[in-house]
Structure 1
Amino acid sequence: MKTKILITALSLILFGSCSEVLDISPDGTQTTEDIFSDETTTGAYLTSCYEKFMAYGYGYTGIENQNVSISDDTWSIGRNGAKSAYLYQGICNTDGDIGWGQVGNTLAYQSNMFGYKVGAWEHFYKRIRRTNVFLSQIETAAVPSEEERAKWTAEAKVLRAFFYLELIQRYGKAFIITDPAYVDFDESELVMSSFKEVSDFIISECDEAMNEDALPWRPVVSTDYRRMTKSIAAALKSRTAIYMASSLFNEGENYWPEAEAICEESLNDLLNNGFELYTSVRSPSYFGTNAYQEYSCTTQDYSDNPIDKETILRTQNFSTAWNYQGLPINNAASAGMTPTQELVDAYPMSNGKYILDLSKPYNDVKHLSPNLNLESGYDETNPYVDRDPRFYATVYYNGSTALNSSNVETTLDIFRTGECAIDGSNTQRTQTGYYPRRHYNPLARRGKSVGVSFRYMRLAELYLNYAECLIENNKLTEAVAAIKPIRDRVNMPNIDEVEGVSIDQQNLRLMYRNERRIEFAYEENRYYDVRRWTNPTDNMDVIRYETGMWIEKNEDGTFTYQRFQINDSYHPETGWAGSGLEKLCYTNKFLLYPFDASEVSNILANTQVNIQNPGW
């Protein structure tokens, strides 16, 4: 009897939702022999493995980036069903998705990202199982050429590795399944693998794929923008390596020497195959000398010799950020995820000096009393001058300018009586005293949408991943050298070139983590970094309290700046009221996603193992 891949309700559990290319028989089924005996449907089946590929960026529920909104970098307005509002209150359980307006597993269920009532665990395993089917058939399948067979095989292995990393960075462990897993799959045979075991599998699969000459280093046509490549494999290896060595996942073992070797090799592989940081500004009239800003406000281009040689994987292009991460002067629907004062404080002065003491940035738990570095040159009465150029690429602040809906350069008045002032009851207004600028093309406004690519993997990460390994292995001189290209791009003095800076392991670790934070602001790294750097039994105190900047305009035209805890209220006559809000998703159970109770029960019944993560 022929083995059937059933495109029916039952098979949706194993393989994911239907793909048009597979719905080609009248009764809704198609045999593997039929599919893989034709080169067109063989290739189409591989394409179907990418179905519902995650958009990341602004592809989460509510058109926000959930990972960014529940980090300590931003505070989300939380409109259109965004889950951040629940998570700020610590609301999340193991009930799965129990319907619109109901509270369930708010971390794992993102309808825009994974599909209606589909959680992350189910989503990635559907794609893993479909990829397993492809790999089980490709050796004898009809293909256009043997080169294509080799390329497709390598591509599928990297794709499966990608899905496994997405699983374990959320859940901390996974079942390694490489068989096709047809409808008679016996779950009692499953054995949960540790983070390290899955990491070893990911790295091995990527190594094997990278040894295949037919797999390209980068996409050369836009339609292949999300297809797996050697560069993605190298980035996966690097990211996996630093995660497996980090406190949350290493189970007390020292994997940093191993991680260093992997990260060095991955970085060199990319540098030796045409990848480089985006350092030359093409449109100086809009971006001046800030190549970092231009890079984050443009779309990836594709050719054998692209302008953008830094991007490894972009997951979506979006053109209406001005509306859902926008400004009141454009009548945007939402201010979106507004920068916190903590993120603003992270940007050093242009001389390279940090405005806060990184070892103890605040004198109080609620961050209202900054522990200022008095030698930095920071002026509390004029706080936005002479900062790291990445600050100006990321944050709209009081006194900065942008085009309004009439295409007129307009000053942003974020002081109390200004047009863009804080208003907690209005989703068009900031709640922190800042507006997001990252990924916001300066030409974008109401009536003019400008495309921007969300880069999920890029070369800068591999430089910093390697630097982290060197720091943890106490190779400080080499670590400083690995950070230097990142600082050079924005014309900042390197860490060892800053007057008064002491380079020891602890200080360099703090400076490195700060560097990583500001380089990847509004990407998704900070969410995972805070977690992986936290011991499994500790809370994430760094995200518990967040502040904004309240601004009063004085009669002489100067401004008075005052830090406040987000969600407190102010009245000119009575002053401040309230005790602010905590992000209650700071507790250690939020280090990892919970498994759905139904999944835990099913696995327990079949394997006698309770897979639930701590605290849930």
Structure 2
Amino acid sequence: MKRIFRYIYLFIMGMTVSSCNYLDIVPDNVGTLEYAFRNRNEAENYLFGCYSTMQRLSDVIYNPGFTTSAEVVYPMLETQFFNASGFNLIRGTQNSSSPVLSQWGNMYRAIRRCNIMLENIDQPIDLREAEKRRWIAETKFLKAYYHYYLIRMYGPIILIDENNPVDVDIELTKRKRATLDESFAYVVSLMDEAIPDLPPIIENRAQEFGRITKFIAMAVKAEMLVWAASPLFNGNPDYIGYQDKDGRELFPAAYDPQKWRLAADACKEAIEECEAQGLRLYDILPVNGIRNVSDELKEVLILQNILTQRWEENPELIWSLNHGFDYQGYTIPKLTTNAVGMSNSYPSNWAVPFITTELFYTRNGVPINEDVSWDYANRFSVEIGNEANQHYLKQGYETVKAHFDRERRFYAALGFDGGIWFGNGQADEETAYHVQARGLPAIAGPKSLNATNITGYWPKKLTNYLSVMDVNFSAEAFRIPMMRLAGLYLLYAEALNEAESSPTEEVYEYIDRVRHRAGLEGVREAWSTYARNPQKVTNKEGLRQIIRQERRIELAFEGQSGWDLRRWKELQSVLGSPLRGWNVSGETTADYYRPVPVIIPLFSVRDYLWPLNNYDVVVNEHLTQNPYW
């Protein structure tokens, strides 16, 4: 399909030059501005350049929401295959001399580019007024999003409403950080300016699919307001007294419950706009490469395909970016003899620790440690795959009780020893592969092979079922969503629960929309019937925990949980204990199914925010280093 972003690479390569400071006095492309805006076509190319920084944000190895969530861990400190520095952050590698995954300079260069676009948008004489308004709105969205990305990482930031004039005194380029409340107010105001002039949908999908629409902007605005209301930034006692060099308090000292009301209202407005434009929860059974499959497995495939379906064909996807997910070779176990020989090129070693696998509910829709009918205490004991679980587990194969009687999202999201792995070139359930992760010789022909990683769990949700690793490796492309409707529903449930004194019917409704698609009973019915603490679902505090777990389950491996855990101030608890997996080097079944630590994470209060580069703090005397750094 023809896309707008086909121009970006060549354009940016032509317009970008090296720069020593993210707030240069002279724009790095000032010599080409007259040419860049001489007509509509050249100005459109410049607009695509404004989009380019955002496009690169969808590469998950550079997304802290993915790499620091402890959903997926990587075994090596160094790798020849890709940049693993983001994964290593949970090992305590962050520093202020060269901050890992820093976006400070990158985002300010992108913001400067957006300001140049806004300053010169009147120059092309052949640009129609309606189109100009739309381009201005798109640029304001991008400018707001780049500022917002910085807020999530750094807290209070420098706001660049206008670029510095060419002849400005150098001292005036050393700008101060705004307060956190001022920072959020600025990005929300830009979104409010942008939203009215954005198109409700993309009419010309062949030429423009991927550009910002009104419902995308409304959903992102809602997320911004949720962040402003969340514990990290709403009266966080860890940041009380943090001042700039003029003595201004940069973080709000007191909790403001009204911020949750603003967030809830914005979420509801965004939901209404999304649904008005035809968005709905994905419930489409994929048909390619599927012949004889049970109804149970079909439901699992629907849940797995929510993430791997093409954006153009996914009615739930609010927003995605152009960069595809390029790492399926790390997420799929070796299921055939031929695949084993590809281990050097495709090591299949992205692993999922227990702290993530144990999030998923039982088949009754409650946590495994709360279900009165599920044997939590003996979950590590070995059991034989039975007929009742035949659509999820290999019959007659030894695996642990923890793999039995779990919700469908568990089987859609995870590959594990004894688990059915549909796809990889097999179209019938009867011939579907299963994973043999234990260190044993093949015992049932080419479909039971030694294939392991450091925990014994793979993020199956990140593998398209049509991808095949056998004689060759062919990956069916997909994109990680930036936001989808189920996530927006749960944001609304969270914000509304916090805004009200006690849970309302609407809170339960939006949680249940997501649960019902996963084949689960409503949250109240499930807790009242199966939970050890049935009252948990009836009060605000208990429901808060339920919503957070629901969100982590539903959005697992989508680059959301790491951000959510930060804004909830829960990442420190997740990374406060050793991350565990199975003893994958064990030679017997009993030895394999022994929990062992695989990574000792290091995370403290200071790691919730990124450090500024020491160089920037020295060069700009108005900057104060972030708390605890």
Code of the residue aligned with 1:159 in structure 2: it is L
Deviations 1:232-287 (A, max 9, x none): 21121111111100111113322212222222222222222222111222336576
- Taking the aligned partners of 2:464 and 2:568, their CA distance within structure 1 comes to 33
Aligned 8 A contact 1:334 1:429 in 2 = no
Cα deviation, residue 310, structure 1:
1.4
Cα deviation, residue 188, structure 1:
5.0
Aligned 8 A contact 1:76 1:338 in 2 = yes
- Taking the aligned partners of 2:481 and 2:423, their CA distance within structure 1 comes to 27
- Structure 2 partner of 1:113: none
- Structure 1 partner of 2:233: 249
- Structure 2 partner of 1:457: 483
1:162-173 paired onto structure 2 within 5 Å:
162-173=145-156
- Structure 2 partner of 1:42: 43
- Structure 1 partner of 2:54: 53
- Taking the aligned partners of 1:273 and 1:351, their CA distance within structure 2 comes to 34
- Taking the aligned partners of 1:151 and 1:525, their CA distance within structure 2 comes to 29
Code of the residue aligned with 1:205 in structure 2: it is L
Aligned 8 A contact 1:43 1:143 in 2 = no
Pick aligned residue for 2:304 from 275, 281, 293 = 293
Asked if 1:394 corresponds to 2:379, the answer is no
- Taking the aligned partners of 2:164 and 2:207, their CA distance within structure 1 comes to 30
Between 507-516 and 278-287, the greater mean CA deviation after superposition? 278-287
- Taking the aligned partners of 2:417 and 2:286, their CA distance within structure 1 comes to 28
- Taking the aligned partners of 1:274 and 1:191, their CA distance within structure 2 comes to 44
Closer, same or farther in 2 for the Cα pair 1:461/1:59, shift >3 Å?
A: closer
Closer, same or farther in 2 for the Cα pair 1:541/1:219, shift >3 Å?
A: farther
Asked if 1:160 corresponds to 2:183, the answer is no
Between 407-416 and 442-451, the greater mean CA deviation after superposition? 407-416
- Taking the aligned partners of 1:492 and 1:16, their CA distance within structure 2 comes to 57
Closer, same or farther in 2 for the Cα pair 1:243/1:13, shift >3 Å?
A: closer
Aligned 8 A contact 1:199 1:244 in 2 = yes
Cα deviation, residue 598, structure 1:
0.8
Asked if 1:544 corresponds to 2:568, the answer is no
Closer, same or farther in 2 for the Cα pair 1:48/1:68, shift >3 Å?
A: closer
Asked if 1:134 corresponds to 2:134, the answer is no
1:7-26 paired onto structure 2 within 5 Å:
9-10=18-19, 13=22
Deviations 1:182-212 (A, max 9, x none): 4445545623123322222222222222212
Code of the residue aligned with 1:122 in structure 2: it is G
Closer, same or farther in 2 for the Cα pair 1:52/1:242, shift >3 Å?
A: closer
- Structure 1: runs of 5 or more not aligned: 23-27, 97-104, 109-119, 302-306, 358-372, 421-426, 568-580
Cα deviation, residue 221, structure 1:
2.3
Question: TM-score, normalised to structure 1's length?
Answer: 0.79
Cα deviation, residue 153, structure 1:
0.8
Aligned 8 A contact 1:155 1:215 in 2 = no
Closer, same or farther in 2 for the Cα pair 1:276/1:430, shift >3 Å?
A: same
Deviations 1:67-109 (A, max 9, x none): 323213222234334114642331221122xxxxxxxx2242x
- Structure 1 partner of 2:191: 206
Between 48-57 and 37-46, the greater mean CA deviation after superposition? 48-57
- Secondary structure in 2 aligned to 1:142? coil
- Taking the aligned partners of 2:333 and 2:27, their CA distance within structure 1 comes to 40
Aligned 8 A contact 2:37 2:43 in 1 = yes
- Structure 2 partner of 1:177: 160
Question: TM-score, normalised to structure 2's length?
Answer: 0.77
- Structure 2 partner of 1:508: 543
1:335-350 paired onto structure 2 within 5 Å:
335-350=348-363
Asked if 1:148 corresponds to 2:131, the answer is yes
Asked if 1:528 corresponds to 2:511, the answer is no
Pick aligned residue for 2:218 from 229, 234, 256 = 234
- Taking the aligned partners of 2:547 and 2:285, their CA distance within structure 1 comes to 26
Aligned 8 A contact 1:218 1:230 in 2 = no
Closer, same or farther in 2 for the Cα pair 1:51/1:551, shift >3 Å?
A: closer
Deviations 1:415-453 (A, max 9, x none): 243669xxxxxx983111211201211221233221122
Aligned 8 A contact 1:42 1:143 in 2 = no
Cα deviation, residue 29, structure 1:
2.7
- Secondary structure in 1 aligned to 2:480? strand
- Structure 1 partner of 2:179: 194
Between 329-338 and 289-298, the greater mean CA deviation after superposition? 329-338
Closer, same or farther in 2 for the Cα pair 1:309/1:125, shift >3 Å?
A: same
1:231-380 paired onto structure 2 within 5 Å:
231-251=215-235, 252-254=254-256, 255-283=259-287, 285=291, 288-290=298-300, 291-301=302-312, 307-316=313-322, 318=324, 321-329=327-335, 330=339, 331-332=342-343, 333-357=346-370, 373-376=371-374, 380=379
Closer, same or farther in 2 for the Cα pair 1:436/1:150, shift >3 Å?
A: same
Pick aligned residue for 1:593 from 610, 613, 618 = 610
- Taking the aligned partners of 1:294 and 1:583, their CA distance within structure 2 comes to 32
Aligned 8 A contact 2:583 2:592 in 1 = yes
Code of the residue aligned with 2:440 in structure 1: it is T
- Taking the aligned partners of 2:189 and 2:613, their CA distance within structure 1 comes to 30
Asked if 1:565 corresponds to 2:596, the answer is yes
Aligned 8 A contact 2:234 2:255 in 1 = yes
- Taking the aligned partners of 1:219 and 1:56, their CA distance within structure 2 comes to 25
- Structure 2 partner of 1:476: 503
Cα deviation, residue 505, structure 1:
1.3
Closer, same or farther in 2 for the Cα pair 1:59/1:512, shift >3 Å?
A: closer
Code of the residue aligned with 1:451 in structure 2: it is A
Aligned 8 A contact 2:279 2:485 in 1 = yes
Closer, same or farther in 2 for the Cα pair 1:551/1:177, shift >3 Å?
A: closer
- Structure 2 partner of 1:424: none
Code of the residue aligned with 1:278 in structure 2: it is Y
- Taking the aligned partners of 1:16 and 1:295, their CA distance within structure 2 comes to 46
- Taking the aligned partners of 1:37 and 1:69, their CA distance within structure 2 comes to 43
- Taking the aligned partners of 2:126 and 2:224, their CA distance within structure 1 comes to 32
- Taking the aligned partners of 1:41 and 1:419, their CA distance within structure 2 comes to 61
- Structure with the bigger percentage of helix: 2
Between 48-57 and 274-283, the greater mean CA deviation after superposition? 48-57
Between 185-194 and 341-350, the greater mean CA deviation after superposition? 185-194
Code of the residue aligned with 2:404 in structure 1: it is V
Cα deviation, residue 513, structure 1:
0.6
- Taking the aligned partners of 2:64 and 2:524, their CA distance within structure 1 comes to 35
Kindly tell me the number of residue pairs found equivalent between the two proteins: 532
Report percent identity of matched pairs.
24
Pick aligned residue for 1:492 from 501, 516, 520 = 520
- Taking the aligned partners of 1:18 and 1:135, their CA distance within structure 2 comes to 14
Closer, same or farther in 2 for the Cα pair 1:559/1:299, shift >3 Å?
A: farther
Deviations 1:304-361 (A, max 9, x none): xxx422112212454754313231333342224311111111111111121124xxxx
Aligned 8 A contact 1:69 1:337 in 2 = no
- Secondary structure in 2 aligned to 1:565? strand
- Structure 1 partner of 2:440: 417
- Taking the aligned partners of 1:603 and 1:418, their CA distance within structure 2 comes to 62
Code of the residue aligned with 2:560 in structure 1: it is N
Deviations 1:147-188 (A, max 9, x none): 111110111111111111111101112111111334445545
Aligned 8 A contact 1:339 1:436 in 2 = yes
- Secondary structure in 2 aligned to 1:453? coil
Code of the residue aligned with 1:130 in structure 2: it is R
Between 397-406 and 229-238, the greater mean CA deviation after superposition? 397-406
Aligned 8 A contact 2:438 2:452 in 1 = no
Code of the residue aligned with 2:334 in structure 1: it is P
Between 439-448 and 6-15, the greater mean CA deviation after superposition? 6-15
Closer, same or farther in 2 for the Cα pair 1:484/1:374, shift >3 Å?
A: closer
Closer, same or farther in 2 for the Cα pair 1:243/1:413, shift >3 Å?
A: same
Aligned 8 A contact 1:218 1:312 in 2 = no
Code of the residue aligned with 2:97 in structure 1: it is D
Deviations 1:41-61 (A, max 9, x none): 111111111224344454536
- Structure 2: runs of 5 or more not aligned: 1-13, 236-253, 382-400, 444-449
Pick aligned residue for 1:106 from 94, 100, 103 = 100
Deviations 1:429-485 (A, max 9, x none): 311121120121122123322112211111122111111111112341321112111
